[in-house]
Amino acid sequence: MHILHVVGARPNFMKAAPVLHALRKRSAVQQTLVHTGQHYDANMSDVFFSQLEIPSPDVNLGIGSGSHAQQTAEIMSRFEPIVLERKPDVVLVYGDVNSTVAAALASAKLGIRVGHVEAGLRSFDWSMPEEINRVVTDRLADLLFTPSEDGDRNLVQEGVPAEKIFRVGNVMIDSLVRLLPAAMRCPRNGFPQCYALVTLHRPSNVDDSKTLKSILQSLLEIHQDLAVVFPVHPRTRQRIEEFGLNAGNLHLIGPLPYVEFLALQHGAAVVITDSGGIQEETTYMGVPCLTLRNNTERPVTVSLGTNVIVGQERDKLSLELSKILAGKAKKGTIPPLWDGHAGERIADVLQSQS
């Protein structure tokens, strides 16, 4: 059986690694890895490959930045000849980035079976590019690997036949479980003892100057009592510079490698974020998480985990933060099947299909 994996952006790498590792141990499985090049900076891509021990891509499409249509179209046209040449049995796509939907669409049109890892998640917010990518990818997929029960429910409600849905658990947590010991050994020189860790890159938070300014002001207020450590995504750095905004004396640093970032999450008093994956990682580690969005496609992190949705309201953020700092943080549990073995379960399903 020949499985062709497609990755492109930072959050894909920790999801693909466990599946690549699990399939490597299986007999009669050939694997091809295609990197679209959506994320191309060494600190957004290469360092993740080395820490997660992902083999070098067999093909790099080198697509780089562009508008959504440009990125998606460019991936499709550069990916199609690769599929025609390599003739995989299944193309596996991950998460909800532009690389995911573009590769799924090109493959489905060639009649190649598509497997979607992290299927079924829904924010029900059609203004998010990732929500469009999730819905379209799931519509195209033949094998839908879900991380939690809400994913199955969403898919069934959309009319996906039950036999296409496989609840396998959370692959991102597989990578976390594997590399948490390395993260615990990671030196944290130069970082404060007690800090809030911040990440921000959603278009809804960073592409509008007023919104981004207001978030930075909230962070500067927090920074008066609790050090704010902020590894800045390239998109956000571009916007801060473009809008001429003041980040004061916040600890702004570049994007971090996976292990170093896990270490910072693990040691944080609180994580303030608009990322999807970080809501899950904090839930697994029991670290309080405040999400600067009005919704989440990962509701188990709220119902079972440590996540609280605070939207863009400054009052709600400071209220929830004060509860955490007063030792009254929400206690969470780890969702079912977030156990470090999701990649193995995906490999089992793929083998049973051959």
- Could you give the maximum distance between any two Cα atoms of the chain, in Å? 60
- Asked if residue 114 lies in contact with residue 88, where contact means CB atoms within 8 angstroms, the answer is no
**What is the spatial order of strands in the sheet that 270-273 belongs to?**
251-253, 227-231, 195-199, 270-273, 289-291, 307-309
Calpha distance 129→236 (Å, rounded): 17
Q: Which of residues 48-77 bind ligand UD1 (CB under 6 A)?
A: 65
**Angle ∠(315,212,190) on CA atoms, nearest 5:** 90
Pick the binder of ligand UD1 from 1, 26, 29, 44 (CB under 6 A): 44
Q: Which is nearer to ligand UD1, 49 or 344 (CB)?
A: 49
Letters for 155-194 (x = contact with ligand UD1 by CB under 6 A, - = none) are: ----------------------------------------
Fill in the amino acid letter for 253.
I
Q: Which is nearer to ligand UD1, 10 or 293 (CB)?
A: 10
DSSP string, 116-177: EETTT-----TTSHHHHHHHHHHHH-SEEEESSHHHHHHHHHTT--GGGEEE---HHHHHHH
Residue whose token pair is 């509701």: 299
Question: Per-residue b/e over 274-292, b at no fewer than 16 CB within 10 Å?
Answer: bbbbbbbbbbbbebbbbbb
- Asked if residue 154 lies in contact with residue 132, where contact means CB atoms within 8 angstroms, the answer is no
Quick check: is 201 catalytic? Answer: yes
- Asked if residue 88 lies in contact with residue 353, where contact means CB atoms within 8 angstroms, the answer is no
Q: Which is nearer to ligand UD1, 4 or 9 (CB)?
A: 9
Pick the binder of ligand UD1 from 41, 53, 158, 208 (CB under 6 A): 41
Pick the binder of ligand UD1 from 4, 7, 11, 283 (CB under 6 A): 11
If binding is defined by CB under 6 A, does position 97 make contact with ligand UD1?
Answer: yes
Q: Which is nearer to ligand UD1, 38 or 123 (CB)?
A: 38
Write phi, then psi, for 227 (nearest 5 degrees).
-60, 135
If binding is defined by CB under 6 A, does position 201 make contact with ligand UD1?
Answer: yes
Pick the binder of ligand UD1 from 15, 21, 35, 39 (CB under 6 A): 39
Q: Which is nearer to ligand UD1, 22 or 151 (CB)?
A: 151
If binding is defined by CB under 6 A, does position 129 make contact with ligand UD1?
Answer: yes
Letters for 243-272 (x = contact with ligand UD1 by CB under 6 A, - = none) are: ------------------------------
**Of 201, 233, 266, 341, which is the active-site residue?**
201
| Closest separation in Å from C-beta 230 to ligand UD1 | 15
Give the count of beta carbons closer than 10 Å to the beta carbon of residue 43: 15
Letters for 205-224 (x = contact with ligand UD1 by CB under 6 A, - = none) are: --------------------
Judged by CB under 6 A, the stretch of 13-21, 34-42, 278-286, 294-302 that binds ligand UD1 is 34-42
Q: Which residues pair with 318 in a beta bridge?
A: none
Which residues would be at the binding site for ligand UD1 (CB under 6 A)?
A: 9-11, 38-41, 44, 65, 96-98, 129-130, 201, 233-235, 238
Task: Tell me the catalytic residues.
Answer: 201
